[in-house]
Amino acid sequence: MKEILSKDNKLIKYISKLQTSAKFRREEGCFIAEGLRVCVEAALSNAKVLSVLVTDNALQRHSEELKPLLDCAEEVYLTSEKAMSAACDTKSPQGVICVIKTLDNIIDLDTINNKYILLENVQDPSNLGTILRTADALGINGVIMTSDCCDVYSPKVCRGAMGALYRVPFMIIDNAPSFIKEFNLKGKSFAAVVKDAYSVTDADFSSNVLVAVGNEGNGLTKETIEACTSKITIKMCNNAESLNASIAASILMWEMIK
């Protein structure tokens, strides 16, 4: 096994740049997974793992769990604790990090009776990670994100998604209204809004369905709401103005698949 001892190693610097720059991730066509579970899930989900860096400590403690990851990776480096810290985004790294080729979980829109969620300008990576994790757990057929959402390959999204990133089909689109108008030819689209709409419990989610959820502070744009077949809302009490975006999206996905 090759070794990386210094935090000034070229690969460590390359990984740090991939951690912090969405632009660099796009240019290179790869992203970083960090932590035992998220890394091993990549291997189990047949993601293309380019490099694995592992500390001696992690190797000793998790040799059995790490096996599929080390087997599938193109290259493996035994890495010093200091170099690992320099590469990692978290404060207490678990001693495993890998470089993965960006994914190809293509959404097949030409099927029937599928359930999709569309996210417009969702900014918080924790929200996006949680939504992907929930979409995966509930069996949503695809997550469609506008290009002004936070980067799906950012370290926080990756960690929050807990491996769902490798499994859930997703796509990035430029323009939500025009995508939705095209979708309406083969299904129904619902705009999630906070008021003046039918309760989600009254919506008919049979057949092909897309639900659009908007930005944390401002919700969906007017154009996207107008492009949808109908508007739905999660009825709230008290003075609550809104739910957290990941909670709202999760309740909507739950209603879609139930």
Site for a copy of itself in 198-227 (CB under 8 A): 201
d(CA 258, CA 250): 12
Show the beta-strand stretches assigned E in 57-155. Answer: 75-79, 96-101, 115-119, 142-146
| Maximum CA extent, the chain | 62
Query: Does residue 244 belong to the site contacting a copy of itself (CB under 8 A)?
Result: yes
d(CA 164, CA 158): 8
Q: Which of 128, 134, 122, 127 is nearest to 176 (CA)?
A: 122
Site for a copy of itself in 16-45 (CB under 8 A): 41, 44-45
CB 103 within 8 A of CB 166: yes
User: CB-wise, 147 or 244, nearer to a copy of itself?
Assistant: 244
Closest distance to a copy of itself from the beta carbon of 258 (Å): 6
Site for a copy of itself in 71-100 (CB under 8 A): none
* Number of residues forming the site for a copy of itself (CB under 8 A): 33
Q: Choose, by CB under 8 A, the member of 11, 50, 78, 247 that binds a copy of itself.
A: 247
Closest distance to a copy of itself from the beta carbon of 129 (Å): 9
User: CB-wise, 208 or 250, nearer to a copy of itself?
Assistant: 250
Query: Does residue 233 belong to the site contacting a copy of itself (CB under 8 A)?
Result: no
User: CB-wise, 88 or 140, nearer to a copy of itself?
Assistant: 140
d(CA 146, CA 122): 8
Show the beta-strand stretches assigned E in 103-248. Answer: 115-119, 142-146, 170-173, 188-192, 198-199, 209-213, 230-233
Closest distance to a copy of itself from the beta carbon of 165 (Å): 12
Question: Which residue is listed with tokens 């025009």?
Answer: 178
Residues binding a copy of itself (CB under 8 A):
41, 44-45, 126, 130, 133-134, 136-139, 160, 162-164, 167, 201, 234, 236-244, 246-247, 250-251, 254, 258
